[in-house]
Structure 1
């Protein structure tokens, strides 16, 4: 891709021009920076450091201490710490996640689709669901910004942003390290080393290595299944020749491995079970081979799997970024240039049974390049904000071999390219000492090209372009120094595109348009007892239009198959909700955090034109189905108590409880009931009780050693994590991780 090389050259030249001056970029981003430990800092609005209580935005800030106290592994563990947030792993994509925020969700690992909730790591947007669930050891903090984000971050998102900030080089000699051992063969090593001259130069080396044997029992092969491994090494260089200039260069390499185990959830309605698990097989020359592998329960049966092929994940990625900030008076010029290049191969037995029925071997290359330029700060007395431009492109090639019943194989090839450009701005205007108006806007242009080779000599191509204007406005008022009330409106946009799984000329030719979310929000932020008690509320209404959904419909006359799956703007929805965030320091050494999310999400329209006649006939109304990953209730509470043992040691006790109501993970219709979701995709209501005890011995003013024992899901609450029925052929799913426990030993100096 020529523009890919041009963009990389542009970013390199920009780095060279500004690198001699270095920069100031998102400094002091600690979760509880400032001189007051009760002041929590948020940087997601790109205004520098702002107290979270002064921001007219629904945002949850998660510190690394909160994650570490739970024996946390990845971004996935942020789930219980923010209201209305659901994160489920997706095994078919290395490090992939199905992230839902305020009922706006997405789970597809095909790289032709864009995430609805963006994951941004050190200012770099991750363009696919792959490799989103990164390790949490080196996090400085995580910010969960709820609702559409397009005027603040480089890439527009309609559901929200999980903004991850890793630690910065300290420019002084120091190190942190931790080793963890747990059940299911968990072995993990994390480390960070800092060196520097204490003034201008700093170098941070970081890395982790993790092994996990998996919690499934494959009785066909006689082995544990669901293993995963993750290795990451990298370095960040900080150069700061003057207090106003800074250059951050990061290079890292990652590997992800394992096997993507799935459970057989096929039932007597699926073709697989009709052919091979029926006492009277159809046709008569088939056999009753897998009776015990069909019609299974959705709890303890999930953890016994039957795949005849273990499967494998091989993923390698190189990531480079250059972040430059230049402080000019009250303004900051920021440049973020980033390149990510990955190769992956995933072999998976999707049907999950002991007979070869549907297996895939997916080999793909993915590259993304992004360039963001911003000018932010105080433009005039009482007027602050950010203006910027963003360029993003990615391309991937997918060579997939699918093995069908009887050993027949198909080998489609996909080549997909995206080029996007956007201008955005967001400003705050002080109308009075207590009243502030905020307004922003974004204009986005997206171009996509797609080629699909279904067989030698059978090639189809398509190209689409989109552009969209998305505004934002809010008004906030300081009722007192400790109470802020605000109201806001924002529109989010996700570009349309082309279905990377299209397997017919008609599906290749079928493009889908953009989807939008109009979000209305009111909030109240309260601080009591000198900041020892924080209590924040947000209520919202989201109008979800032209919602992109995968639908199964008839193919045009003369097609090889009678039906196909296409992505269409088939639905609209209304989502209402209430959110509560609470933090309290009740007495010396004891703190409490809690969150509550209430959600009411319903389709307003969902029309699937099964017979392609252009009319909504009886049996084509799917609006009574449930939105995916939109639980009615999410709740969490965590208590932490620090008890001094001696003058230089302490014990920390952490207990957390989180629960969420049931929710659907599949949009596929129930057998015989077109208006309901397939019940096999229902994630049950679950609770997770976790606890940890940490002993810390301080060996110096800035050094310590510690030991931690932890347990997660102590009540062993198990059940279905997710499921996917595939075109009436078979159904597979995954289970909720059962009880886990372990010990961690660490040091810091």
Structure 2
């Protein structure tokens, strides 16, 4: 297949010419950096460093130090630190995450579908949830921007954005490293090396390697399963040939491996147990608590994923404005072999081989355009493509081998501006117009090749007003629209399904917020309330196939639903006395379908038994809460102890919208994630061996209450059901150094 990188070549050429032919942009001046010292900084509005207390936006900023002091160093661990955020791992996708923010969620590993919460690393958006839950050792900050971010980040950010900023090359010699050893065979090694001339040139080398044996016991194969491994190595080059120019080039390589274990959740309502329950009686009708940790798969399965990622960023300061160019390419190959039925007999196994590529080019200019008017204006180009070659082994050994070829091309123009109306009153206006084009080819069998293509465009505005009630209190009101692109169901298994495209879905969100600080910033309390209308919601529905089809039913994706989601949020940080800090978050959520019509018999009428609007939306817990206490105390003139404890609570939520066998208006009860309380703690001893050097040792524990239960579940068309478990208690020790 021909790669369509024409605009990409233009963007790269512009990048190179800007980098080497012209003096260009540095980041923030030393003066600005000094002004921000000691404040919590956010960069998600693409205006450089801003105090989180000054932006009219619900955002939680998490430092990697906050994660590290709890023995947590992956994106997944941000979950307990921001309100109304749920992050569940997706075992069938290498490093994949099911992320839900303010009740807007996505979990599918099929790459024809796109995320609802954007994960952005150093300005580069990930178009698939594969590889999202990466190691955070080299991260500088993680920003959780809640609510639609369609103006600045564009399509597929209708729930929000997790904006990750990695550490920059220091241009001076320095080394950081650590090793972690824990139960379930956890071994993890992280390192960052910096070199440079202290002025113009800096090179950062980074890498990590992780091994984990898994916590499932496979009694059929007599071994532990659910293992995973992750290796990442890379380099970032920083060149600043003048005070107004910086060039950042990053290249990295990643590998993910392991075996994807699943638990059997099939019961007497599923064909598997109806037909074969007498053969495997102990593998049917199991509970969704302690039974989940014993699995029966007859095939171990495997994950093989490797990816090359390249990116280049050029920043050029021109007076009060900064011109930024970000060019990025990701190219990955993966193969996942999995026994989805989770039983000791061959019933439903898949072998999925995928090639995925994405290219993006962003050009933007930001800063103060006129006196009292600042913001950003830009262009964005995106394209991706993937090929899927899947072999599915059915009961009796029959195999089917559908293949997919899918391409996406998108272009957008955007602007977002702040207008100072008075010294205390500010108006913010933003808009983005996006064009999407997709092409889809599905090979159902030799000679049975079907294609489709469609295009969409969408306007996404944003407006907010904020007012400085006092120097320490900011009040704001905002409206924002976000949208998720339309497309095709990449697992379509009939000509009819291939011919059925779905349109974009949209979220219109209204928000009121209050940001407050007291005692010179020692106490910060930020509040937000929001009301969101979710229209044309894309849902997978099972419906009858046309007469003469090989199967009586099929799964298609339609704009089948609408919903209303509203909630309250609070972020808190308090430096109560020297060395003692409290951080906390509370989220309250109320999410309901307004309508959810499934035309099961495809007659175009609303018949009894086709109303799913009384179901619960996926991953919408009513309540999320976290409170973390961190205390540092001096042991000697050159050493200290740090104590950290965190309690987080999440109420129960549904992980599937597959209907219950006995009631179409209820979620299948096997998909209920129980209410959980996660108690984590860590003790760190640090010995300072110089002004910029130290060694440390940390003992940590996660899920100390050892809560068990369902992580996620998926009943499959009445045939069988499988799921995953909440990770049990984990503990370990970390040894590290920095100089």
Q: TM-score, normalised by structure 2?
A: 0.99
| Residue of 291, 304, 307 corresponding to 1:314 | 304
Aligned twin of 1:570 = 560
Q: Distance in 2 between matches of 1:153 and 1:560?
A: 42
Aligned twin of 1:710 = 700
Shift in Å at residue 14 of structure 1?
1.7
State whether structure 2 residue 633 is matched by structure 1 residue 643: yes
State whether structure 2 residue 391 is matched by structure 1 residue 401: yes
Shift in Å at residue 253 of structure 1?
0.2
State whether structure 2 residue 132 is matched by structure 1 residue 142: no
1:618-673 CA distance string (max 9 Å, x none) = 11100000000000000000000000001110000000000100000000000110
Aligned twin of 1:735 = 725
Answer whether contact 1:125 1:155 (CA < 8 A) is retained: no
Q: Distance in 1 between matches of 2:340 and 2:206?
A: 36
Answer whether contact 1:105 1:117 (CA < 8 A) is retained: yes
State whether structure 2 residue 177 is matched by structure 1 residue 177: yes
Q: Distance in 2 between matches of 1:192 and 1:23?
A: 27
Q: Distance in 2 between matches of 1:56 and 1:448?
A: 35
Shift in Å at residue 368 of structure 1?
0.3
Q: Distance in 2 between matches of 1:655 and 1:71?
A: 11
Alignment of 1:25-40 (within 5 A): 27=28, 34=34, 38-40=38-40
Shift in Å at residue 155 of structure 1?
4.7
Three-state SS of the structure 1 residue aligned to 2:9 is: helix
Aligned twin of 1:100 = 100
Shift in Å at residue 22 of structure 1?
6.1
Q: Distance in 2 between matches of 1:185 and 1:380?
A: 58
Aligned twin of 1:128 = 128
Q: Distance in 2 between matches of 1:629 and 1:22?
A: 49
Three-state SS of the structure 1 residue aligned to 2:5 is: helix
Q: Distance in 1 between matches of 2:29 and 2:294?
A: 48
1:294-315 CA distance string (max 9 Å, x none) = 0001110000000000100000
| Residue of 353, 372, 390 corresponding to 2:380 | 390
Q: Distance in 1 between matches of 2:339 and 2:73?
A: 26
Question: Are residues 177 and 155 of structure 1, via their aligned partners in 2, closer, same or farther at CA, if it must alter by over 3 Å?
Answer: farther
Answer whether contact 1:26 1:43 (CA < 8 A) is retained: no
| Residue of 647, 670, 677 corresponding to 2:667 | 677
Q: 5+ unaligned residues in a row in structure 2: which ranges?
A: none
Shift in Å at residue 558 of structure 1?
1.8
Alignment of 1:656-675 (within 5 A): 656-675=646-665
Q: Distance in 2 between matches of 1:152 and 1:378?
A: 17
Alignment of 1:497-512 (within 5 A): 497-512=487-502
Shift in Å at residue 574 of structure 1?
0.1
Aligned twin of 1:283 = none
State whether structure 2 residue 296 is matched by structure 1 residue 295: no
Shift in Å at residue 47 of structure 1?
1.2
Q: Distance in 2 between matches of 1:155 and 1:76?
A: 23
Alignment of 1:196-207 (within 5 A): 196-207=196-207
State whether structure 2 residue 363 is matched by structure 1 residue 373: yes
Aligned twin of 2:430 = 440
1:394-442 CA distance string (max 9 Å, x none) = 0000000000000000000100000000001000000000000000000
Q: Distance in 2 between matches of 1:460 and 1:669?
A: 30
Answer whether contact 2:117 2:156 (CA < 8 A) is retained: no
1:97-119 CA distance string (max 9 Å, x none) = 00000000000011101100000
Three-state SS of the structure 2 residue aligned to 1:274 is: helix
Shift in Å at residue 153 of structure 1?
2.2
State whether structure 2 residue 610 is matched by structure 1 residue 620: yes
State whether structure 2 residue 523 is matched by structure 1 residue 522: no
Count of aligned pairs between the two proteins: 737
Three-state SS of the structure 2 residue aligned to 1:315 is: strand
1:75-126 CA distance string (max 9 Å, x none) = 0000000000000000110000000000000000111011000000000000
Question: Are residues 361 and 2 of structure 1, via their aligned partners in 2, closer, same or farther at CA, if it must alter by over 3 Å?
Answer: closer
| Residue of 533, 550, 561 corresponding to 2:551 | 561
Three-state SS of the structure 1 residue aligned to 2:435 is: strand
Three-state SS of the structure 1 residue aligned to 2:317 is: strand
Question: Are residues 154 and 204 of structure 1, via their aligned partners in 2, closer, same or farther at CA, if it must alter by over 3 Å?
Answer: farther
Answer whether contact 1:525 1:535 (CA < 8 A) is retained: yes
Answer whether contact 1:22 1:324 (CA < 8 A) is retained: no
Aligned twin of 1:226 = 226
Aligned twin of 1:726 = 716
Aligned twin of 2:54 = 54
Q: Distance in 1 between matches of 2:57 and 2:384?
A: 30
| Residue of 448, 453, 472 corresponding to 1:463 | 453
1:376-395 CA distance string (max 9 Å, x none) = 00001100000011000000
1:526-572 CA distance string (max 9 Å, x none) = 01000000000000000000000000011112211111000000000
Answer whether contact 2:373 2:420 (CA < 8 A) is retained: yes
Question: Are residues 618 and 471 of structure 1, via their aligned partners in 2, closer, same or farther at CA, if it must alter by over 3 Å?
Answer: same
1:206-260 CA distance string (max 9 Å, x none) = 0000000000000000010000000000000000011110000000000000000
State whether structure 2 residue 204 is matched by structure 1 residue 214: no
Shift in Å at residue 506 of structure 1?
0.6
Three-state SS of the structure 2 residue aligned to 1:14 is: helix
Answer whether contact 2:304 2:336 (CA < 8 A) is retained: yes
Shift in Å at residue 150 of structure 1?
1.7
1:678-722 CA distance string (max 9 Å, x none) = 000000000100000000001111111000000000010110000
Three-state SS of the structure 2 residue aligned to 1:400 is: strand
Q: Distance in 2 between matches of 1:609 and 1:36?
A: 56
Q: Distance in 1 between matches of 2:24 and 2:703?
A: 44
Shift in Å at residue 35 of structure 1?
5.5
Shift in Å at residue 27 of structure 1?
4.8
Query: CA RMSD of the aligned region, Å?
Result: 1.2
Shift in Å at residue 2 of structure 1?
5.0
Answer whether contact 1:7 1:369 (CA < 8 A) is retained: no
1:266-320 CA distance string (max 9 Å, x none) = 000000000111xxxxxxxxxx211000000111000000000010000000000
Q: Distance in 2 between matches of 1:485 and 1:35?
A: 22
Three-state SS of the structure 1 residue aligned to 2:721 is: strand
Aligned twin of 2:464 = 474
Alignment of 1:69-80 (within 5 A): 69-80=69-80
Answer whether contact 2:24 2:318 (CA < 8 A) is retained: no
Q: 5+ unaligned residues in a row in structure 1: which ranges?
A: 278-287
Aligned twin of 1:493 = 483
Q: Distance in 1 between matches of 2:29 and 2:135?
A: 22
Q: Distance in 2 between matches of 1:531 and 1:208?
A: 36
Shift in Å at residue 33 of structure 1?
6.6
1:16-41 CA distance string (max 9 Å, x none) = 10111464365599xx9746654111
Aligned twin of 2:164 = 164
Answer whether contact 1:154 1:389 (CA < 8 A) is retained: no
Aligned twin of 2:254 = 254
Aligned twin of 1:4 = 4
Three-state SS of the structure 2 residue aligned to 1:79 is: helix
Aligned twin of 2:268 = 268
Answer whether contact 2:114 2:156 (CA < 8 A) is retained: no
Shift in Å at residue 156 of structure 1?
4.8
Aligned twin of 1:305 = 295
Question: Are residues 376 and 731 of structure 1, via their aligned partners in 2, closer, same or farther at CA, if it must alter by over 3 Å?
Answer: same
Q: Distance in 2 between matches of 1:723 and 1:459?
A: 32
Aligned twin of 1:44 = 44
Aligned twin of 1:354 = 344
Aligned twin of 1:323 = 313
Shift in Å at residue 7 of structure 1?
3.3
Q: Distance in 1 between matches of 2:18 and 2:561?
A: 47
Three-state SS of the structure 2 residue aligned to 1:4 is: coil
Q: Distance in 2 between matches of 1:49 and 1:212?
A: 37
Q: Distance in 1 between matches of 2:706 and 2:430?
A: 47
Question: Are residues 271 and 26 of structure 1, via their aligned partners in 2, closer, same or farther at CA, if it must alter by over 3 Å?
Answer: farther
Aligned twin of 1:280 = none
Answer whether contact 2:631 2:644 (CA < 8 A) is retained: yes
Q: Distance in 1 between matches of 2:722 and 2:14?
A: 48
Q: Distance in 2 between matches of 1:26 and 1:355?
A: 59
